[in-house]
Amino acid sequence: MSATIILASSSATRKTLLDRLQLDYLSISPDIDETPLPYETAQQLALRLSIEKAQRIAQQHPDAIVIGSDQVAYCANSPQHFIGKPDSIENAINQLQQQSGKIIHFSTGLSVQCINQNIHYQTVVPFQVQFRQLSKAEIQRYIELDQPLHCAGSFNCESLGLTLFEWMYGDDYTALMGLPVIQLCHYLRKLNILLP
């Protein structure tokens, strides 16, 4: 299939991940409402938002292969409480203090769509991390160095965030960064896109 590929995101991290595949693509922000629905689980929310992001752009570009992805995080003992982006140093400190010593679950949704080819692939890829017991000094030093204020959970696993963990568990560590590249490659190969 020879078609334009569009990433339905303006996320620098998702673009960096997709860049690894050395494909030509466009990046367009879908600008959707990401408010959770009542009683929606993390898996349901991640999948719904991924599909809605891809649909929004696919409707505008029906010949294109559109990639939508979304990630929802929650603490193991509070599955109904989703972990968002801190947006401030104070919130980041509070988040990391709450996550210290705990297991955090991530549900990363992926949707690949092409309207004119009637293509609708979708899945949710799970991932888990166990945080170390973190001192306030470690937390403050980490935030100062990595500035993870726009990262869900107040950490950047592509950088120093890895130092906060006891372990990581999952089939695809890129899911932790917000775009499950292994599963994406599987879908793109089904569309006859050569990788590598």
In a domain, 195, yes or no: no
- At 3 the pLDDT is 86
- At 122 the pLDDT is 98
Backbone angles phi and psi of 136, in degrees to 5: -65, -35
- At 110 the pLDDT is 98
Catalytic residues: 70
In a domain, 118, yes or no: yes
- At 175 the pLDDT is 97
- At 80 the pLDDT is 84
Domain containing 16: what range?
Answer: 5-190
The CA–CA distances, whole Å, from 37 to 58, 80, 122 equal 23, 11, 19
- At 76 the pLDDT is 87
- At 196 the pLDDT is 87
Nearest to 108 by CA among 181, 35, 18, 194: 181
Rounded CA separation 11/178 (Å): 9
Flag residues of the chain having pLDDT under 50: none
Rounded CA separation 65/61 (Å): 9
- At 116 the pLDDT is 95
- At 36 the pLDDT is 94
In a domain, 123, yes or no: yes
Q: pLDDT of 38-94, one tens digit each?
A: 999 999 999 999 999 999 999 999 999 999 999 999 998 888 899 999 999 999 999
CATH of the domain at 159: 3.90.950.10
Nearest to 180 by CA among 84, 69, 104: 69
In a domain, 196, yes or no: no
- At 178 the pLDDT is 94
Strand duo 5-7 + 165-169: pairing? unpaired
Total domains in the fold of the chain: 1
Neighbours of 78 (CB within 10 A): 11
